[in-house]
């Protein structure tokens, strides 16, 4: 546990030093928290730079609301001057500290554990998202933190009610994580005693029900229907979308496949020699250490469920109409990378081979380069 705390503190210090905890202008969640404190679900819209859906005379935030709920005490004290980036940095610190604890519980050796946590922080888009703290990015960081908390609980006391709460927090940060909920149920169902297994599943489902009811109420207050139509309505208004139909279409699959696995930076003869495209780079170039997940073989049930969760949660992103737009790597991958992280840890329990360390080192260096480039050329401090 001490190692987890130290990993979290180190993450906070590093992120604070690099980002200067600069408040983001895209503080949609601060505005939503302020709206909640004023007993409404529509925001006071400051202008075009804030993505908010125009619906029946008001502006609404369409992103999942959990970060706004976490910001309530901050906004209650500082109002709309509350620092959304600070919350993003805190959540990233929780994520890395939890990842360290997951690796410890899986008995991953210290050196391999360190490499894995460094990869999670800088070899993925986690650091980049947290240092900017924009509405879209803090949602990813929050989802990573709560998904890892759910997984560490499943590796520990396996309290079904707590797993359910973490699962809700993750999916109310990023909606694709709803597809991981059945996977948590599968992992809770591994108890050898049938009566305990049934009891855990009943507690798990029962804990989810009030949150489902609150979600229906939230949709009724916003859209006057029990389901969420925010993203579909946004798609119909977005210049990148279409006036009718769903934002999830098989026709977008080739574009997403190219984004996730092919898209590369631009190279030039002079400084800075390589330029990360504003629309992101494929995981092939930024996070090749993810291949270490294929070294996980046991326990078979965990490996099977984690791969199932990875594929299920990734599926919506591979048929969505945009790939994340302004980004360094491929930020939508953060939705499913927590499951891959646990698979990587399962595969490295006997230590990390030299090529694994090389892949992690490469991923970390590329991530650091991306952070430097964005803070130097795209979003200078």
Long-range contacts of 74-83 (CB under 8 A, 24+ apart): 74/30, 74/33, 75/30, 75/33, 75/34, 75/37, 76/37, 79/34, 80/27, 80/30, 80/31, 80/34, 81/23, 82/27, 82/30, 82/33, 83/21, 83/23, 83/133
Determine the pLDDT at residue 1. Answer: 83
Backbone angles phi, psi at 262, to 5 degrees: -125, -45
Sign of the Cα torsion 107, 109, 113, 116 reads negative
pLDDT at residue number 197: 84
CA dihedral 340, 344, 347, 353 (to 10 degrees): 150
pLDDT, mean over the chain: 96
At 268 the pLDDT is 81
Maximum Cα interatomic distance, the chain, rounded to a whole number of Å: 67
Classify each residue of 6-29 as buried b or exposed e, where b means 16 or more C-beta atoms within 10 Å of its C-beta.
Answer: ebbebbbebbbebbebeebebbbb
Structure tokens at 253: 């699959």
Residues of the chain short of pLDDT 50, as ranges, are: none
Q: Of 364, 375, 369, 282, give the one whose Cα is nearest residue 323.
A: 282
């Amino acid at each position: 546990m001490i190692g987890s705390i130290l990993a979290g503190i180190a993450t906070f210090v590093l992120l604070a030093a690099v980002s200067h905890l600069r408040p983001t202008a895209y503080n949609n969640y601060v505005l939503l928290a302020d709206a909640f404190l004023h007993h409404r679900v529509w925001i006071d819209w400051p202008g075009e730079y804030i993505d908010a859906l125009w619906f029946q005379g008001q502006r609404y935030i369409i992103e999942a609301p959990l970060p706004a709920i976490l910001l309530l005490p901050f906004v209650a004290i500082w109002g709309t001057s509350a620092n959304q980036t600070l919350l993003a940095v805190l959540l990233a610190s929780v994520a890395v500290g939890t990842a360290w604890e997951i690796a410890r519980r899986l008995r991953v050796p210290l050196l391999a554990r360190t490499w894995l946590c460094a990869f999670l922080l800088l070899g993925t888009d986690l650091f980049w998202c947290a240092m900017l703290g924009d509405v879209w990015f803090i949602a990813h960081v929050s989802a990573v933190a709560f998904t890892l908390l759910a997984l560490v609980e499943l590796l520990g006391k396996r309290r079904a009610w707590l797993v359910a709460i973490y699962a809700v927090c993750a999916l109310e940060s990023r909606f694709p994580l709803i597809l991981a909920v059945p996977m948590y149920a599968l992992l809770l169902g591994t108890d050898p005693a049938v009566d305990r297994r049934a009891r855990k599943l009943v507690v798990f489902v029962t804990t989810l029900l009030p949150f489902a009811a609150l979600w229906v109420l939230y949709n009724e207050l916003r859209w006057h229907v029990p389901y969420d139509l925010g993203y579909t309505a946004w798609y119909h208004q977005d210049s990148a979308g279409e006036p009718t139909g769903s934002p999830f279409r098989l026709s977008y699959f080739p574009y997403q496949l190219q984004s996730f696995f092919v898209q590369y930076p631009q190279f030039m003869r002079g400084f800075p020699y390589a330029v990360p495209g504003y629309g992101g780079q494929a995981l092939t170039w930024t996070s090749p250490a993810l291949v270490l997940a294929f070294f996980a073989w046991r326990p078979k049930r965990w490996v099977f469920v984690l791969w199932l969760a990875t594929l299920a949660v990734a599926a919506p992103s591979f048929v969505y109409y945009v790939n994340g737009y302004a980004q360094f790597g491929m930020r939508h991958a953060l939705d499913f990378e927590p499951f891959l992280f646990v698979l990587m840890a399962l595969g490295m329990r006997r230590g990390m081979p030299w090529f694994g360390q090389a892949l992690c080192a490469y991923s970390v260096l590329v991530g650091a380069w991306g952070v430097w480039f964005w803070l130097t050329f795209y979003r200078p401090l």
